[in-house]
């Protein structure tokens, strides 16, 4: 039985706090329908957040190309904090893709990078269902 495969991925390594962080994915599931994008996020001083699930839209369950996003609006006190995000795709049979990992640093002088041209669709797959908190608990 084939498992889902993330064939390409991209995300900026630095953004400003308050920006939307887009994580681009291309994935496929030859033997089954992809159901969810499973995200784990680790933050120094906080640890690992509860798993965030983003349901895959019905039209993208065999092959998908687009982005999920993390809303950083409202998070405070995280400048120069480095987060670690791990993503896997889960299919209807409970199979998981190999993980892909990204790091993100909040830098007030940075601007998000554009993904490589002609690789990913600019298709909104949904939010990363994790709400950031400051390291001090606020």
CA-wise closest residue to 39 among 112, 96, 116: 96
The pLDDT of residue 1 is 65
Give 64's contacts (C-beta < 8 A, 6+ positions apart): 25, 26, 27, 28, 34, 56, 123, 125
Q: Do strands 82-91 and 100-106 pair parallel, antiparallel, or not at all (unpaired)?
A: antiparallel
Q: Do strands 82-91 and 5-11 pair parallel, antiparallel, or not at all (unpaired)?
A: unpaired
CA-wise closest residue to 58 among 34, 39, 38, 30: 34
Question: Is pLDDT of 32 > 90?
Answer: no
Output the CATH code of domain 5-127: 2.60.40.1930
- Residue pLDDT, tens place only, 43-95: 998 999 999 999 998 888 899 999 999 999 888 899 999 999 999 999 999 99
59 vs 37, higher pLDDT:
37
Q: Which two tokens stand for residue 59?
A: 């039209």
Burial class (CB in 10 A: 0-12, 13-18, 19+), 93: middle
- Residue pLDDT, tens place only, 105-114: 999 999 889 9
Domain layout of the chain by residue ranges: 5-127
Q: For residue 113, give the DSSP letter.
A: P
Q: How far apart are CA 18 and CA 32, in angstroms?
A: 37
- pLDDT above 90 coverage of the chain, percent: 82
């Amino acid at each position: 039985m084939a498992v889902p495969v993330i064939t390409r991925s991209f995300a900026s390594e630095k953004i400003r706090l308050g920006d939307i962080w887009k994580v681009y994915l291309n994935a496929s599931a030859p033997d089954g329908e992809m159901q969810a994008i499973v995200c784990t996020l680790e933050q120094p001083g906080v640890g690992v957040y509860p798993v965030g699930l983003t349901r895959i839209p019905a039209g993208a369950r065999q092959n998908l190309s687009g982005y999920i996003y993390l809303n950083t609006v409202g998070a405070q006190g995280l400048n120069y904090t480095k987060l670690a995000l791990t993503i896997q795709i889960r299919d209807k049979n409970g199979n998981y893709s190999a993980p892909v990992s990204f790091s993100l640093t909040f830098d007030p002088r940075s601007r998000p990078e554009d993904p490589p041209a002609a690789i990913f669709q600019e298709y909104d797959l949904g939010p990363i269902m994790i709400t950031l908190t400051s390291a001090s608990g606020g």
